[in-house]
Amino acid sequence: MTTDHDTTFEPFASHAFYREINRELVYRALSTADAEQPTWATRRVVDIACGTGAISGLVVGYWEEHGKVGELIGLDPSDSALQRARRAVQSRFARFVQGAAESLTSLVSAADVVLFCNALHLLEDKGRVLAQVRDTLNARGIFAFNSSFYEGAYAEGTQRFYRQWMVRAMQTVRREHPEMRTDRNAKVAAMRWLSADEYRALLAENGFTILHQEERTADLPLESWTDISGYTDFAEGALPGIPLKVAVPALQKAVREVFEEMQLTAVPRKWFQVIAQRA
């Protein structure tokens, strides 16, 4: 089990668009649960892959804004991320537990809402985890997830940007390290991006009804692309087989150049956002 926390995602997650997209999903999930069971006094919410607590903080914020009380359980395999989450989300409603999504049913039960933000795409066996989410939820419980790493995440008209970016990055790598080659087998199958249709099919197979789904577009400025270049999972996926200390600066340099050449101020990117209910 991973105990070290990879902090490379945090600069990307600190952008305003990131908070807004997740806030929309989390608030919609919690208000849907409230509408389903208006008489329940307390909600039990599980935040899978909570990391340093960005999503958990939104849940507590929702309860504060709406004068509600609840019990929030944040789960993550990384002990150091959980320590940071405990500091960031100081609420008597929240507690943080070490564990992977694959062990969900042995860690929590009887949840009203399960959230899984920006991480479901990382899992190898998504079906196995969705079955556990279903078993963890109370009848008519709500499951919400999102991802911007799915087949379809590239907004229309942005393919050229990605192509140019990767060509430029590889040119930089080759110039500085002529011996290096990308290795398409270096990236594990877990990172194959599923399509929205594949996610919908997995949800149906595992006993969920979709209540709301959208492909939400956000305009990402240059700084967010340089930040995502520094995220380990992203850099390994973009330039598989190239060591991170070479891949990250190459991606960052290339994206700055492509923004300038194509005279871009932002590049749109899509998030697949889903609210589903245990049937």
Ligand X SMILES: C[S@@+](CC[C@H](N)C(=O)[O-])C[C@H]1O[C@@H](n2cnc3c(N)ncnc32)[C@H](O)[C@@H]1O
172 versus 226: smaller Cβ distance to ligand X: 226
> Whose Cβ is closer to ligand X: residue 56's or residue 172's?
56
The residue ranges that bind ligand X (CB under 6 A) are 9, 13, 22, 48-51, 54-55, 76-78, 81, 100-102, 117-119, 122-123
Spatial separation of the C-alpha atoms in residues 167 and 250, rounded to whole Å: 11
Rounded Cα–Cα distance for residues 103 and 129 (Å): 8
Strands 137-147 vs 111-117: parallel, antiparallel or unpaired: parallel
Smaller CB distance to ligand X: residue 119 or 218? 119
Enumerate residues 6+ apart whose C-beta is below 8 A from 199. Answer: 150, 272, 274
- List, edge to edge, every strand of the sheet that includes 69-76: 94-98, 69-76, 42-48, 111-117, 137-147, 266-278, 208-221
Q: How many CB atoms lie within 10 A of CB 275?
A: 22
Nearer to ligand X, 9 or 150 (CB): 9
Question: Please, what is the minimum distance in Å from the beta carbon of residue 61 to ligand X?
Answer: 14
User: Which C-beta is closer to ligand X: that of 93 or that of 234?
Assistant: 234
Integer Cα distance of 189 and 126 in angstroms: 12
Nearest approach, Cβ of 20 to ligand X (angstroms)?
13
Report in angstroms how near the CB of residue 211 gets to ligand X at its nearest: 20
Q: How far is the CB of 129 from ligand X (least distance, A)?
A: 8
Q: In angstroms, what is the minimal distance from the CB of 237 to ligand X?
A: 13
